[in-house]
Amino acid sequence: MLTVLFAEKGTNLRKEQEQAFVHFVDFLDECSSEFISLFVYYHLVCYIFIDGDVQCSAEHILIFLSGASSFPPLGFDKKPTLSFIHGILATSSTCDIQLRLPLEHGSDYSKFRDAMLLSIHGHDGFGGV
């Protein structure tokens, strides 16, 4: 279970965060149910996955969040948290077990989904940086 770190209720930032959170819940639903096709174009950079399909599973998200491919039998030492950043891509801290969702996509779920897939699959993995 993730602890979500929202801004104060009634603020514009909170509204942005709630929209990103709704997108994240939709993304989790989509990842658990099918393969997602990905073609992302941001500014002048084009990321293409050769086979055209990117599978995203709970395991991929857990690896991105914590570096672990499964939940430890006794649980994590720290409680996983979900926070938000002003940026295009999601980031994570495997030491703090914290996922930071991007706020730059507003109400456009398609862009949010593509950014999440690129964040999760477009890195060198735990220990690869």
The pLDDT tens digits along the chain (129 residues) read 779 999 999 999 999 999 999 999 999 888 875 434 333 333 323 333 334 455 688 888 888 988 888 888 888 899 999 999 999 999 999 899 999 999 999 999 999 999 999 999 886 655 554
The model carries a pTM of 0.79
Q: Which structure tokens are listed for 10?
A: 């009634």
Provide CATH code, domain 3-121.
Answer: 3.30.2410.10
Determine the Cα angle at 126 with ends 120 and 128, to 5°.
100
Distances (CA, A) of 107 to 8, 9, 102: 20, 19, 12
Say how far apart CA 70 and CA 123 lie, in whole Å.
Answer: 19
